[in-house]
Amino acid sequence: MRDAYNLELDNLRAQLGDMVQLVAEAMELATRSLLHQDLETAEQVISDDVKVDDARSAAEEKAYGLLALQAPVATDLRIVVAALHAAESIERMGDLALHVAKAARRRHPEPVLPPDVRPAFERLGDVDVRLARKLERVVRGDDAEAAKSLEDDDDEVDEIHRNLFTVIMDSDWQHGVSPAVDLTLLSRFYERYADHAVSVARRMLFVVTGRMPNHSSSDV
Amino acid sequence: MRDAYNLELDNLRAQLGDMVQLVAEAMELATRSLLHQDLETAEQVISDDVKVDDARSAAEEKAYGLLALQAPVATDLRIVVAALHAAESIERMGDLALHVAKAARRRHPEPVLPPDVRPAFERLGDVDVRLARKLERVVRGDDAEAAKSLEDDDDEVDEIHRNLFTVIMDSDWQHGVSPAVDLTLLSRFYERYADHAVSVARRMLFVVTGRMPNHSSSDV
């Protein structure tokens, strides 16, 4: 009985790991579509989002099954609830990648990004995808250490996000209001994506170790 | 046994209702601080946010207690899980009100809003607070009908949000890049607040009636 339960729990972790893999790939492709005005890639991210939604429903049903049939208590209960929260946050990460792809599609064939901010978005994309890859390992239970460096990655995203605001609001900004508005939202999408990744990792670790990593994540 | 369980479930709903009341008030005050450069009110929203965080922890603990001690199944189980998701979303609504208050404080004593967009933010604040008041009734189980009109309110928020972008990106925009960036984020905070309210209401109703309201909410 106990072994069957743990097997089911492993399956749930694997499902969530697959889901993180999907949203990591979504953000990687969305960033590519943004940097290269690549409409086909943008469309692919947009049409693939339904896979993330389906994966979330499947993970939720698995979690309900565990709760209803096995009535876990203590740490086991908290792991299942953390998985439910994780499924919601990971779906949200997919939505944020989708928003990036939609922005690329909306301006196509015009570039969304003025040349001077391209490197910043290249870095945002890199760090977000790196974060998601680490989160995948944390979720699968393969690498608890990854959670610590995940917080550092999140700090890096916050710093790029803040620097972008400085650039946009500087009197040297040559590109006018409309790109400024696009970049403000886009930068926020990357920043929220990273926040969700950290929050899932913290919650998963907390239920396993009983301790939050010694680091607080900021918002905005 | 069964009655004690329902009593506990009522308590959980009441806790969530109180939490929604807190974040409704937070958005009301945050909007006031934004419209009137009212630093004292902004500070109050910022310092009161901890009450929302505490209320969320308390609601989560109550939900864990119900899951661990009563091992609910079927609809009862889904109500408790919906409550857990609700606690997270309502806390997020509080964070979004907090962001509005922080924007008001950051620019103080300068106004954040150019005069021509003040009416739009007055409406955003009004509709968000109205949404939250209706959500409170839905959560307390007092008014399932409120959920339908809540979707209409969300549409209204989306429309104000979209109109604001048209105004900001118009060639007549006189206020430069920096206010445009502020308004873009602020408008998004109001829009996300409404989205969270609708998503909590939909989930609570779904678990009770087994049907989603016949309306899909948009994002961005």
In a domain? residue B95: yes
Query: What local confidence, expressed as pLDDT, does residue B76 receive?
Result: 87
Lookup result for tokens 């978005």:
A121
Question: What's the pLDDT band for B5 if we cut at 50, 70, 90?
Answer: confident
**Cα–Cα distance for residue pair B66/B80, rounded to 1 Å:** 8
ipTM passes above 0.95: no
A:B CB pairs within 8 Å: 71
Whether the per-residue pLDDT at A6 is higher than 60: the answer is: yes
Q: Is residue A219 part of a domain?
A: no
Q: Is residue A217 part of a domain?
A: no
Query: To probe the interface with A, which of B56, B112, B163, B178 has the most A CB atoms within 10 Å?
Result: B178
Site of tokens 């693939």: A48
Instruction: Check CB contact under 8 Å for B84 and A88.
Output: no
pLDDT band at A70 (very low <50, low <70, confident <90, very high): confident
Q: How far apart are CA B220 and CA B162, in angstroms?
A: 9
The pLDDT value given to residue A215:
47
For an interface test with B, which of A78, A98, A177 has the most B Cβ atoms less than 10 Å from its Cβ? A177
A220 assigned to some structural domain: no
Average pLDDT over residues B109-114: 95
Chain B hits for A165, CB-CB cut-off 8 Å, are 181
| Percent of the residues in chain B that have a pLDDT greater than 90, as a whole number | 77
Domain count, chain B: 1
Q: Do A68 and B77 touch (CB under 8 A)?
A: yes
Provide the residue range defining the domain that includes A38: 2-209
Instruction: Look at residue A200 in the predicted model and tell me its pLDDT.
Output: 95
Asked whether residue B219 is domain-assigned, the answer is: no
> Is A196 within the bounds of a domain?
yes
Higher pLDDT, A188 or A206: A188
Q: Which residues have CB under 8 Å from B73's CB, separation 6+?
A: A68
Alpha-carbon radius of gyration of chain A:
19
The pair of structure tokens assigned to A139 is 């979720």
User: From CA A105, how far away is CA A29, in angstroms rounded?
Assistant: 13
Residues of A with a Cβ under 8 Å from any B Cβ are: 63-64, 67-68, 71, 73-74, 77-78, 81, 84-85, 88, 95, 99, 102, 165, 168-169, 173, 176-178, 180-181, 184-185, 188, 219-220
In a domain, A55, yes or no: yes
Q: Is residue A30 part of a domain?
A: yes
Q: Encoding tokens for residue A109?
A: 């064939």
CATH number of the domain at A89, please.
1.20.58.220
Q: Kindly report, residue by residue over B115-156, the tens digit of the pLDDT.
A: 999 999 999 999 999 999 999 999 998 877 787 789 999 999
Q: Which residues in chain A are closer than 8 Å to B185, comparing Cβ atoms?
A: 184, 188, 220
For residue A25 the two structure tokens come to 């790939």
CB contact (8 A) between residue B71 and residue A74: no
